[in-house]
Structure 1
Amino acid sequence: MTQHVDDVRPVGTVSRPVPHVAGNGVPVRPAPPKPAPPRRAAPPTPDVTKQQPAGSASWLPALGVLIVGMFMSILDTSIVNVALPTIQLELGISATDGQWVSTAYSLTEGIMVPISAWLGYRYGSKRIYVLCLAGFTVASVLCGLAGGLGSLVVFRILQAVPGGIIPVTCMIMLRRMVPPERLGAAMGLYGLGVIVAPAIGPSLGGLLVEYTDWRFIFFINVPVGILGVIGAAIVLKKDQGHRDRPLDILGFATIAAGLFALLLALEEGKDWGWTSYPIMILFTVAALCVALFVVIELEVDRPLLDLRVFTHFQFVLPLLLVSVISMGMFASAFFIPQFLQGPSRGLTPVNTGLMLIPQALVLAVLLPMSGLLYDRIGARWLAVSGLLVAGIGLLTLSEINVDIPNGSLVLGMCILAGGVGLAMMPIMSSGLGVVPPESAESASSFNTLAQRVSQAFGLGLLNAFLTVAGAQGLADRSGLLTQSDPQVAAMSQNQAEMLVFYQRTSGIAQADAYSQAFVVIGLLCLAGAVLALFMRGGKPTAGSAPAMAH
């Protein structure tokens, strides 16, 4: 076989393609080479907001930073309530005017909750958290420097703006950074800021008011806030904001107006009269605004809050149970100090605070423990047992009277705290774990909003109940004694003795009203224990709590 001369090439020469020749001798142009397939673009850098770290070491420091901010924002509410009588005295204002120091904060805080998730989505949760923590600290300084009622109320409103955003932002960031199978443990630690802060607020407030100056209840936030801002800037992972979701202005306007009207009616009902025209108008406005909000959210393409979360029974049921147990915890935190510092007992703020420390210790122990148990056995039986224990604690507190030993009150509060510590965080974790990813931010907002409204709603209704029951009890006891009674006639000769007699009679009527109120809330908790049987059971798995996604 002969070799063609053209095929012989020196070694190392570059081979060139030989043109093909058609049968008629005309060279044929070779077909152009096929284009190489396009190179696949490198996958985009994953958004840190969608990552779920595998180990606990990566999220524990960040969780600690979130607990600091949450603890500070909630502590401020309970600590101010203790100092209100002193503030009123030093500023020379009436009790009705002084109440606006607390009311202005509560109203503004509630209004800011619905927009919190959108702000985090738009500008990034880390940026919003750091700015809110810094803003809360600066506003606290201004509150401490206030020279009168007007400036103090304005600065409290400025303080409440970031104070209302921080809880929702913390909850959203917690769900993003914690693996679903460790959500219970994380929520147990997170509960130290949510539940323990109101429990120790009266103690700390009493110490500051009695031994320093009422302005230090605000100044105490400064070092904590500075450390929190520094820690957040270093530890928290940065997440990018998104510009693809415009603000639902109509939705925000309607829900803000509805919440403002509802919270104002609940705050002022006891003073304005629950059947008065202003209160009835506020309730009507609240109902209409909320109804309009629902219509708007169901029609717009990008709603402010996703109402589809309410189609999940396992989200709605825990939301109701959280509301019930929040009502019991915060009602006792409000009424017990009021009773201890009332005319029948006359304890100082410091001594009152010392009596509340044991329940704070119970919460501090049980909250992390309940989180670990949730990761092992799920929420159902923790919720059932916790609500039962809370109900028993409230029924124990219903034995309250002017002569009740302090130990009995402490025992009842500790039993109640034990129930709250067992049930609160598992219930919240279970409810937040069932919603789909696209609705997770709205679920966090509704959870925070339910706690705020239930606390105001419970205190408002119970205040109305106490007003009626207390007045009736005082009238009944006064009617038993007449001026013809020799004992009363003798006491009327001495105004001091008469004053003591009146204070004791008033204290008895007040204690009877508190007793009836605790019975009502205790029965609600026991009913909640029955409903908790319908919660999902079993150990939560990695797929049971969807990761956060935008």
Structure 2
Amino acid sequence: MVGTMASIMSSTIVNVAIPDMSHHFTLDQSRVQWVSSGFMVSSTVGMLVTPWVLGRFGYRMTYVATMLLLLAGGIGGGVATAFWMVLAARVAEGLAAGVVQPIPAIVMLRAFEPSEQGRASGMFGMGVVLAPAIGPSIGGLLVDWFGWRSIFFMVVPFCFASIALAYTFVPASAPGGAQAQRGAQLDWRGLVLASGGTLCLLNGLVELHGRSHTTAGLLLIGAALALFVFIAWQRRAAATGREPLMNLALFGYRTYAMGSIVAFIYGTALFGSTYLLPVFMQMGLKLPASQVGTILFPAGLVLAFTIGGVGRLVRRVPTRVLVTIGLALLAASFVLMPTVGLATPLWVLVTWAILGRIGLGFILPSLNLGSMRPLSKELIPHGASAINFLRMLGGATGVSLCAIVLEWRIAAHGDSLANPQTSAARLAAFNESFFLLAALCGVAIVAALQLRDSPRGSTAGK
């Protein structure tokens, strides 16, 4: 939990400093958003290699190595003197976070009985969401007092604590209690295809708003080709007895396949809003960074307690019901956000933020566990890796999409983010971006309604 807190904090807290960072390096939104999406791209790569890393090096060595990498990224970002150095630090942090984040789901499904899994997920979630709940508040104050560099150092104490705890409590064995096998080979070709396809997708989205639509088209075609070749290669690897990077047998389980679709779209809306909300408050409503953190703090606390309560319902209430309720509440918060203007009392903004976080509280403990419960035990590490990869890929797409749509709509309304003053046109552009996120949640609800609970390892969901 402590390691995941560190990785999530490194993911979300930087958003509070994006406006200051863009001014410091003189960057537009399409470039500065790579501070967030660069982290997510490297996270997707880390998530794909998690089963191989755990099998080769075991839990303890994996955790210690990733925390050291996260520590190096935090310190490197804090002392960076050029934007490429910030990006390199974010890539290092993303790789570490990507390896760490699928592990809790593997542990919960293997270490706890089905009757205890929801409760364990709820307790774990309550602890983990305190990081993004407290992080923006402290981060906003640090940005105002010491500048944007200071927020990178917030992960340092968490990393040291996680390393100490890993040596005390984490076993050296691989998943399932087996010894780590150093002879296992990584599917490098699959990894290159997945990484290249992700980069083509995100750069293609950025170029869609640029001057070169031809370049955008070529990059998006490259992303589609990488996807088809990746699927073909994974099938061939499995057919010839090699260990594929992503086990496509996972998607033969209907519940897991539907859960993966929900995870991708949900990641797009979640990370897109995590990027958009702080930018909206600072560049649209002209609120200081410290106040942004204060506004988001109550929503984070409500999320923590919601997760704790919903965790106890996971075994009693069907997954599709919990996930659908959560997505509906998240969509409602996006639809209501355009009611906030310069003269609107701040409590209205806080209320809509809380509504969205309640929705997240319904989704987080139930989606991964509900999607992976039908899987056989040997598929669980691969299932955790793949569904987190798809969620993070959706998140990287969401951050790029929000940044591009926001800048496009602001220009269409005759304004620019370079303008230090806000305007009705700028607020209209933000409102249209929020409506886009609400529409994405609506699409995810359609897939969520197809989720069906079935016992672990059952072929009923296939």
TM-score of the two chains, using structure 2 as the length reference: 0.87
Equivalent in 268, 279, 284 of residue 221 of structure 2: 284
What is residue 6 of structure 2 aligned with on the other side?
Answer: 72
What is residue 106 of structure 1 aligned with on the other side?
Answer: 40
What is residue 180 of structure 2 aligned with on the other side?
Answer: 241
What is residue 254 of structure 1 aligned with on the other side?
Answer: 193
Contact 1:402 1:511 in 2 (8 A): no
| 1:353 maps to 2:293 | yes
SS at match of 1:536: coil
| 1:519 maps to 2:398 | no
Counterpart residue type for residue 244 of structure 2? P
| 1:375 maps to 2:315 | yes
> Number of residues paired by the alignment?
446
Unaligned runs of 5+ in 1: 1-66, 476-501
Residue pairs, 1:49-448, within 5 angstroms:
67-87=1-21, 93-95=26-28, 100-192=34-126, 195=129, 197-239=131-173, 240-243=179-182, 245-266=184-205, 268-269=206-207, 272-273=210-211, 276-300=213-237, 301=241, 302-342=243-283, 344-448=284-388
Counterpart residue type for residue 354 of structure 1? T
Counterpart residue type for residue 327 of structure 1? T
Question: As a proportion of its length, which structure holds more helix?
Answer: 2
Cα distance in 2 between the residues matched to 1:416 and 1:204: 21
Cα distance in 1 between the residues matched to 2:403 and 2:147: 30
Larger-gyration structure (1/2):
1
Q: Which of 1 and 2 has higher RCO (CA within 8 Å, sep 6+)? A: 2
1:287-325 deviations in whole A, cap 9, x for unaligned?
Answer: 111211111110112212101111111011122223333
| 1:507 maps to 2:423 | yes
Q: Give the alignment's Cα RMSD to 1 decimal.
A: 2.8
Contact 2:5 2:158 in 1 (8 A): no
Offset of residue 248 of structure 1: 1.8
Range that drifts further, 81-90 or 392-401: 81-90
| 1:457 maps to 2:394 | no
Change (3 A) 1:386 1:151: closer
Change (3 A) 1:362 1:327: farther
Offset of residue 83 of structure 1: 2.1
Unaligned runs of 5+ in 2: 174-178
Counterpart residue type for residue 306 of structure 2? L
Offset of residue 196 of structure 1: 5.1
Offset of residue 258 of structure 1: 1.3
1:38-58 deviations in whole A, cap 9, x for unaligned?
Answer: xxxxxxxxxxxxxxxxxxxxx
What is residue 17 of structure 1 aligned with on the other side?
Answer: none
What is residue 8 of structure 1 aligned with on the other side?
Answer: none
Offset of residue 100 of structure 1: 4.9
SS at match of 2:20: helix
Range that drifts further, 429-438 or 214-223: 214-223
SS at match of 2:423: helix
Contact 1:432 1:545 in 2 (8 A): no
Percent of aligned positions with the same letter in both sequences? Answer: 25
Q: Which stretches of structure 1, 4 residues or longer, exceed 6 Å deviation after superposition?
A: none
Contact 2:15 2:274 in 1 (8 A): no
Range that drifts further, 70-79 or 390-399: 390-399
Contact 1:251 1:297 in 2 (8 A): yes
Change (3 A) 1:105 1:323: closer
Range that drifts further, 528-537 or 137-146: 528-537
Contact 1:395 1:518 in 2 (8 A): yes
